[in-house]
Each structure stands twice: as structure tokens, then as C-alpha cells.
Amino acid sequence: MKRSTERILTTHAGSLARPPDLLEMMRVKELDQPYDKAAFAGRVRSAVAEVVRQQIDAGVDVVSDGEEGKPGFANYVKDRLTGIVAREGMRPRIFSDRADFPDFQPPAASALGFRRLVCTGPIGWKDKGAVQTDIANFQAALQGVQPAEAFIPAVSPGTLAQNVVNEYYKDEEAFLYAVAEVMKEEYQAIVQAGFLLQIDSPDLAMGKNVQFADKTLEEFRTIIARRVEALNHALAGIPPAQVRHHICWGNGEGPHHKDVALKDIIDILLRARAGALYVEGANPRHGHEWKVFRDVQLPDGMVLIAGVIDTKTNFIEHPELVADRIMNYASVVGRENVIAGTDCGFGTSADRDRVAPSISWAKLKAMAEGAQLASQQLWS
């Protein structure tokens, strides 16, 4: 994994807006209606090529495939794994803090995620070739462009434990390790193809506000420690330097006043076998938490990917604000250990554009401009 040795590198959290025509094809597919599989596969492939070039044009150094072929950063597994089904009529998990503000109206739910995922049988592979398709599409898209590095995201076992209702395994631990055993093959395939692997683990932070609001902090720490252990089991044999670990408090607008503080979980997050810890740092609830690293030292060799762009608002950050945020992190962990990123993805659910696609690209350009300003100050 490259470091910011000569200037501040830029990246993002993985998912990006899908083109409208691809999104329509994806909606048909997700509704289990007849669709042209060859046409869908071809459009995903061309969309990946388009989104890679857009990232380069925006000034992003470490790029992804945009998750263009996935309906969501986590629910894509239902098409790849046995034992998981989509079921209608089940209430989705909601942020517990919203109950304190009954007049708050959250954005409409994703149409592609209106069904809950349920584990009804043993977890196994149904479509092991899907990740190879992701890899081939990305490899083709990278022809003729030269990003600093490239990564492919994959969901963590813990996030599936949060998003999937377990009706088969005896307890969460059994479910976690069953998922870990299977998902490690996807993780290994991504790394073996020469890409960085990004593990998406929003459950390790947002879980306190969504799944475990009734638990004490110590109880929650015990839960996420077990999830990190399961993740490490899945990552066994993969060099930590090839792994980015993304943590967030939920990519949705809301009060967030009951979010767990980074300082209360940072020691557990640092146990993951990852070469980069990726945390939010731009949204108003967590923008101050760069100060945590005044007292917490990164393990030797670890990079901090800091969110300096908010993915829940259509405000376009001023490059000078972005530079200030980068400077804060550099002041506590060292300039070479900071990579600038977005808080979360712009398309975590394919059909829910919290940020207008055109504005998301403007925000990425602002991030690149801010990184340039910070680099001028840090290397002057």
C-alpha cells in the first residue's frame, strides 16, 4: 500500500453513482423480473470503465470499480452466497436516535433494499465467479490509465451479522465464522489479482446506534471485538499491507447524537489485520475526532485514511477546509501516514443518491484540490 511520501494521496470509500440506464436495468434485476443478462453484464463492464476515468479526471489517486455492478455495498452477497434469501415484510433496522426527534423525516428507503436478508441455511458459494467478473471488469477499465493504486471493496462478516437476520446458525458467533470461512475466498481473490482489498465494517461503529442501542458500552465492545476476531480469521494469510479497513457511523443524514465515540472503540479497531484504518472525519458529529490520535499511536506501518469529504450533504467543501482537515490529521500521525478520502461511499445503495451524482464528482475534485493545498504546506 502506497503512502503519502511526496504529497497527500487521495481516495474514496468505494461506491459511486451508477449511470441511469444501468440503474434501471439493476432495478428490473432486483425485482426478479426478466432481464437481458448479456446486456446487463456488458453495461456493467462499460460503466466500470467510465467511472474509472471519471475518478482519474477528478484527481483521485487510489481508485475503485465504483461497485457499479452491485445493488449495494453489502446486499450483493445474496446473489453470490447460498443460505441467504431476500424476504419482504420485515422491518429494516433503524437508527435508535431518531426516536428522540419524531418530526425528523429521513430520506426514502432504497427500493433495491426494501427486502430484509435472512439466513435460512448453510452459507456457501452460489456464484464464486462473480468476484472474478468484478476483477476482469476492473482490469479492463484500468488499461490506459495510471492511478497510484486500485482497490475493490468487500463486505465484512460483522456487517452481514448486522444486516442479515440469522435463522439458521445457533448464535452470532457461529454465523460470523461461517461467513468468514466463505468470504475469505472473495478477499483472497481480490488480493491475488493485485488489487488492494477494502473491508467495509460500518457495524463496528454504527452498530451501537442501530443494532445494539440497548447494550452498554462494554457489552458493545465485547460484541465488536468478537467481530474483529472473525474478520481476522477471514483475512488470515493476506498481508495486512494489502488491506484497507473502512469504519463508519452510517451513511445517512440524521441526528447521530447517540453514535459511539471513536475514542471508545479505537483500540479494538486497531486489532484488525489491516494496513490502513479508514475513518470518517468530515461529518459534523465526528469532525473533531482527529484529536483521538493525539493519544493513540498508529501501529508501525499503518496508514490512516481520513474522511475529509461528507457523503451525506450536497454542500461542496471548500478546498481550504479540506486542506485544514488533512493538516489536522497530519499533525498527529505524520504527513506520510495520511491519505485523504470521503467519509463513506456515494452509492452504498445503488438507487439512493443522497448526493447528486454531478455534485459527488465536484466534491471529489474539491478533495483533490484540498490535498494539493495541504501538500504545498506540508512539503514546503
CB 176 within 8 A of CB 224: no
Handedness of CA 290, 294, 295, 299 (dihedral sign): positive
Q: Are 339 and 312 in contact (CB under 8 A)?
A: no
pTM greater than the 0.85 cutoff: yes
Q: What is the mean pLDDT of the chain?
A: 95
Q: Which of 13, 6, 2 is nearest to 306 (CA)?
A: 13
Q: How many CB atoms lie within 10 A of CB 82?
A: 16
pLDDT in tens, 294-340: 999 999 999 999 999 999 999 999 999 999 999 999 999 999 999 99
Asked whether the predicted pLDDT for residue 171 surpasses 90, the reply is yes
pLDDT value for 308: 98
Q: Is the pLDDT of residue 108 over 80?
A: no
Tell me the average pLDDT across 65-69. 98
Q: Give the cell for residue 178.
A: 461461517
- List, in sequence order, every residue forming a beta bridge with 155; answer none if it has no partner: 200
Which one, of 49, 11, 64, lies nearest residue 368 by Cα? 11
Q: Is 365 helix (H, G, I), strand (E, B) or coil?
A: helix
Residue type, 174: A
Q: Which helix (H) or strand (E) holds 173?
A: helix 172-192
Beta strands in the chain (DSSP E): 9-10, 62-64, 81-87, 116-125, 149-155, 164-166, 196-200, 243-246, 276-279, 303-309, 338-342
Residue 280 backbone class (left: φ over 0; alpha: ψ -120 to 50; beta: rest): beta
Q: Are strands 338-342 and 9-10 parallel, antiparallel or unpaired?
A: parallel
Catalogue all structural domains in the chain, each as residue range(s) with its CATH number. 9-378 (3.20.20.210)
Residues pairing with 349 in the sheet: 72
Whether the CB-CB separation of 232 and 181 falls below 8 Å is answered with no
Most distant pair of Cα atoms in the chain: their distance: 59
Residue with cell 502506497: 2
Query: What is the distance between the alpha carbons of residues 267 and 264, in angstroms, rounded to a whole number?
Result: 8
Render pLDDT for 119-129 as a digit per residue (tens, 0 to 9). Answer: 999 999 999 99
What does the pLDDT look like over 142-159, one tens digit per residue? Answer: 999 999 999 999 999 999
% of the chain at pLDDT higher than 90: 90
CA nearest neighbour of 54 among 9, 87, 19: 19
- The answer on pLDDT for 92 being more than 90 is no
Q: How confident is the model at residue 112 (pLDDT cuts 50, 70, 90)?
A: low
CA–CA separation, 373 vs 322, rounded Å? 9
Q: For the ranges 31-35, 43-47, 65-69, 375-379, which has the lowest average pLDDT?
A: 31-35
Is the predicted pLDDT of residue 274 greater than 70, yes or no? Answer: yes
On the question of pLDDT at 46 being above 60, the answer is yes
